[in-house]
């Protein structure tokens, strides 16, 4: 059985794929075990292609865990879509932040726990200028 976190991640991938399709792009989710790209995207003329990494939150909304590789996977055609699924009284709101991998790599923060473990985060304050920036796919 998939964990709640895995289900949230999977939901984020399909929400982003649907949004990309709404913007008249062809979006193909990859295998969930693929490293680096959750969705492969192209325009309808197949002239521009992109890899998309999706990170989704359903509880904590001021940062996303992006992983250590976020500082290494840098390309003009590799884009992160950060998703916040916020519960509301009358349903929910979904926020999208479309951030180039170059920006993620420069702003990712390594956090260390007292146990010695570490995680890599990208913060909402650094994402705000990228809210709904679907134009990166044009």
Domain boundaries, the chain: 4-137
Residue pLDDT, tens place only, 57-94: 998 899 999 999 998 889 999 999 999 999 888 889 99
Least confident segment among 27-36, 92-101, 110-119, 128-137: 27-36
**Interatomic CA distance for residues 12 and 135, integer angstroms:** 19
Question: In sequence order, what DSSP letters do the residues of 14-61 get, joined into one string?
Answer: HHHHHHHHHTT-EEEE--TT-SS-SEEEE-TTS--EEEEEEEEESS--
pTM greater than the 0.85 cutoff: yes
Give the C-alpha distances (Å, rounded to integers) separating 104 from 61, 84, 92, 115: 17, 17, 26, 26
pLDDT-based confidence at residue 99 (cuts at 50, 70, 90): very high
4-137 is classed in which CATH architecture?
A: 3-Layer(aba) Sandwich (3.40)
What is the total residue count of the chain?
138
């Amino acid at each position: 059985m998939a964990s709640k976190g895995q289900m949230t991640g999977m939901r984020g991938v399909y929400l982003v794929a649907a949004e990309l399709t709404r913007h008249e792009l062809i979006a193909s989710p990859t295998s969930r075990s693929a490293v680096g790209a959750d969705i492969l995207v192209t325009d309808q003329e197949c002239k521009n292609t992109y890899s998309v990494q999706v990170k989704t939150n359903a509880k904590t909304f001021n940062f996303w865990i992006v992983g250590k590789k976020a500082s290494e996977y840098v390309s003009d055609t590799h884009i992160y879509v950060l998703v916040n699924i916020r519960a509301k009284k009358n349903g929910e709101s979904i926020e999208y932040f479309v951030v180039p991998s170059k920006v993620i790599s420069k702003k990712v923060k390594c956090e260390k726990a007292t146990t010695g473990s570490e995680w890599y985060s990208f913060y909402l304050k650094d994402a705000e200028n990228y809210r709904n920036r679907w134009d990166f796919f044009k």
